[in-house]
Amino acid sequence: MIGFQYNADASLDLVGGTGRILAQPIAVDVDPYDDISCTKTGLVSDGQSTITPNGIAKQAVSIRPNNTVICPILTDNSQHAYATLGGGGMFVVDTNITPMEIVAEYDVNTFRAAGCGGHSANGSMFLSTGTPAPNISEFSVYQLTQDYPSAPQFNLPNQPTPIAVWADSDNGKTLAGNNRDAHGMVIVKDKYLHQFDRIRNNVEVFKVGQKKVGQKLEYEGSYSLANSGVCKSTLNTMTDDDPTPDLADPDLKGKRIYVALRGTLPQTIAHAAIGSCPGLGIIDLNNKKTGQLTHVLPTFIKSGDTKDNLSDPHAVILVKN
């Protein structure tokens, strides 16, 4: 039997304060006959601290203005999670302690907003940041160490410094009809980093190799997910041939990438995530550094008035049995 157990006692409030926990989570076993159990233990604690171990406000204007967690990425040994934040900044959290604790903090001036996408390779962690608001172009890739302390030890603010190993020269600009949004990332065989662009529907590829932290990535080129012939428009689309890639995962052999493709009515970040063919996209790779979108397995949830497809995939995770 497969079991999922939510340890509520381990929950960490990345804003803090009283009156934030209005109800406790529950575990619902939708199908008691599917050999998958869902349980919950403990309680989420209200009134958690509003400051970091350094004594700095967890959330505050010009520091971390919006601590909506975007994408937590785990280190290779599952000791730490890198929690990127909607308004910019990031926390590194020790996940092996109850409750979890912050061991490193970054502000909005050090780590840009709305990062969602990350992967480890050769001892480093790579994270991307994308557009936080309409009409702002953002495409950056950061490299960080995986060597963070275990709680209760913690680092000084913004240490060690994340290195922007790739930052688009047009970051922060408004590019009419041509903005960028780095979102979702895979690294194939610890060598080639594929960074998706959710607005332009392309993939930028960088060679990682055995790079030291801070050494600029080698640009290998890009490939497009458009003009594939397999992105068939669903109901009531506002765009055509618009795959809109989100989070992805490579297969173990480095021959394919599986990517979630967004829908016509995105539940988050509508300005960047509107797609025309929601479903599972399959990218066949050539030499591990170029690829083509060869299949889209569509997903479909019809709206009550039958006019729209409500399906809006966000992520793909491959699990080895």
Residue type at 27?
A
For residues 133-149, average pLDDT: 92
Amino acid at 253: K
User: What band does 212 get if pLDDT is binned at 50, 70 and 90?
Assistant: low
pLDDT tens digits for 247-257? 999 998 999 99
What is the predicted pLDDT for the residue at 210?
67
The CA-atom distances, in angstroms, between 37 and each of 1, 10, 42 are 7, 20, 17
Q: What is the pLDDT of residues 258-307, one digit of tens each?
A: 999 999 999 888 889 999 999 999 999 999 999 999 999 999 999 999 99
Both structure tokens of 169: 């020269």
pLDDT band at 29 (very low <50, low <70, confident <90, very high): confident
pLDDT at 175: 85
Res 290: pLDDT:
96
Q: How confident is the model over 219-236, as a mean pLDDT? A: 96
CATH number of 51-224: 2.130.10.10
In this predicted structure, what is the pLDDT of residue 84?
96
Instruction: Please state, in angstroms and rounded to a whole number, the distance separating the CA atoms of residues 320 and 13.
Output: 32
Q: Is the pLDDT of residue 26 over 70?
A: yes
pLDDT beyond 70 at 321: no
pLDDT at 134: 84
Where are the domains positioned within the chain?
1-50, 51-224, 228-321
Lookup result for tokens 């949830």: 301
What percentage of the chain carries pLDDT values higher than 90?
A: 79
Residue, of 150 and 164, whose pLDDT is higher: 150
Q: Are 39 and 73 in contact (CB under 8 A)?
A: no
Residue (of 182, 198, 317, 197) closest to 266 by Cα position = 198
Given a cut of 60, whether residue 203 has pLDDT beyond it is yes
User: What is the rounded radius of gyration, in angstroms, for the C-alpha atoms of the chain?
Assistant: 20
Q: What is the pTM of this model?
A: 0.92
pLDDT, mean of residues 49-69: 97
User: How much is the pLDDT for 214?
Assistant: 67
- Quick one: how many helices (H) and strands (E) in the chain? 1, 18
Closest alpha carbon to 12 in 38, 41, 50, 39: 50
Q: What is the pLDDT of residues 100-135, one digit of tens each?
A: 999 999 999 999 898 899 999 988 999 999 988 888
Supply the DSSP string of 259-320, one letter for each residue: EEE--SS-SS-HHHH--SS-EEEEEEEETTTEEEEEEEEE---B-TTSS-B-----------
DSSP string covering 210-246 = TPPTTPPPEEEEEEESSS-S-----TT-SSSS---EE
Q: Cis link prior to 162 (omega < 30° from 0)?
A: no
- Please state, as a whole number, how many other Cβ atoms lie within 10 Å of the Cβ of residue 133: 12
Q: What percentage of the chain has pLDDT greater than the value 70?
A: 98
Cα angle 198, 225, 162 (rounded to 5 degrees) comes to 40
